Structure 1
Amino acid sequence: MSTTYKHSKKPLIGITTWRRDLPTFLGEKTDLYTIGPEYVEAIEEAGGMPILLPHAKPEAAPMYLDLLDGLLVSGGGDVDPSSYGQTNAGKSYDVKPSADAFEIALLHEAYKRKLPTLGICRGFQIMQVAFEGTMLQDLHEVFPFHPKNEGKPEYILSQNHTVSFAEDSILADVYGSVTRTVNTIHHQCIQTVGDGWTPIGWSEDGIIEAVQASGDWLALGVQWHPEKLKDEAEHKLFAYFIQAAWKGRK
């Protein structure tokens, strides 16, 4: 990490943002980088210092990671199917190829540096796409009984399902359990994991819901949104991530 930032008393965690057109006093469609406050709060509560990242050019990824002790790839719109070698069948929404390209570059660089990395929802998905994984553009075509996202906030946040973890996985150790009830805020899912990744969590109907990197890179991805679950146990996941960032700090 750059010596300029070594005086920081907390590990610096980069969190990717999402670009949206939202109404403000400037107009009905104001171009903004956005992030749910829960991500920031979860990192702060676990002892980290959040640093928000825009969609920069891919070649800037090394310079951003020079500043960081850990990387959190957050949720957002769908991954563009072209990023995993498919054509958009009209079931992928709010896609941004420029965001895919930057996040893929961040992930490749994080892998080279063995920088502790956590992917959440879209972050989990792009994490797999970055290493040649593929996705289902509509998970319900293959998994018809999985809870369905109907688009209404009050409905989305009330949906949940059960995930089972491999007994020898990091998440089973973190949570102290091989099962967990999680929220359901997705309409797509991983079809095949990326090279160098191991599936460690599955929904009851067989969807891959969590992965960990093989080898010596501490990297985890989860399909659900732990930052939105009002459960003290979710703090353990962020605490584990921040602890890894501390250990890897130069």
Structure 2
Amino acid sequence: MGRHSIASSAAARRSRRLALVVGGAGALVLAGVQVRWLLRTPAHEIVRSGRFGFVLVLAGFVLMVVIIIRIDAAIKLRYSDRPLGAIPAYVPGPPSLTARRRVVRRWSGFAYLMMAIIGSLPVSILTDWNTEPAGGKVGAMTGSVLAIAACWLVGPAARFVVTREYLHIDTGFRRTSVPRALLAGFLRGPQEVLVELTDGDSRKFRVDTPLLDLRGRHSRSNVRCQFRTVEGIVRALGEVPPLDTDHRVVVTRVRWGPVALALGAVLATAAVTTLLA
């Protein structure tokens, strides 16, 4: 068991104890409110005053937090000690095989959620087009498009592409191409996964969107995401037979498509802002 696995297990046990303490406090508050409601004769006055509802909402919120903490602890206990998938043996297939590839997406659920929330703004603007000033509507819609593009770049734009020659690690603006003959294994990190190479070098890559760091990078765990992402990459490596080539150098280059999208969104927003100023 690695040092990180031991730390994750200890953190999971602490989370479970915290869930029990907070959950117990929430349950006591909720029980106390219920007892008061039963014992006090003018119950309608309690409801009318709003204090009863406030305490119920508070207790419900506490219980919801407990459920989230408990789920997080269960995930850590389940996945923290499970080893990441092993890379299949490098056995090149015949060159005559048709080139195939498999794509594994990075975990981007939160980025999709933000895109949906931001995307609701242009819809509301279109429904009230005749009731708001034209300048403000165009500016708000352009800003929404820029924000959606930013969420896409730090979310769904990232992926892992397995071809016969490479494992491509794509981020929003860069592609790192690792020859399959150099792949040695995967190691779990605090939030990233480390891919070891046969030449002694290594590369780190994210398995989820950087937007999740907004709630605190060092206070969250993504062990399940790491396990499932590596599982998908290993499965893709097994499905696409490698091609024996002379490529033995890791290459990093710019992804011009996403760069063009980002520049276009920024220039469009700047142009609209200038026209409306």
Give the TM-score, by structure 2 length: 0.20
Larger helix fraction of residues = 2
Q: Which has the larger radius of gyration?
A: 2
Give the TM-score, by structure 1 length: 0.22
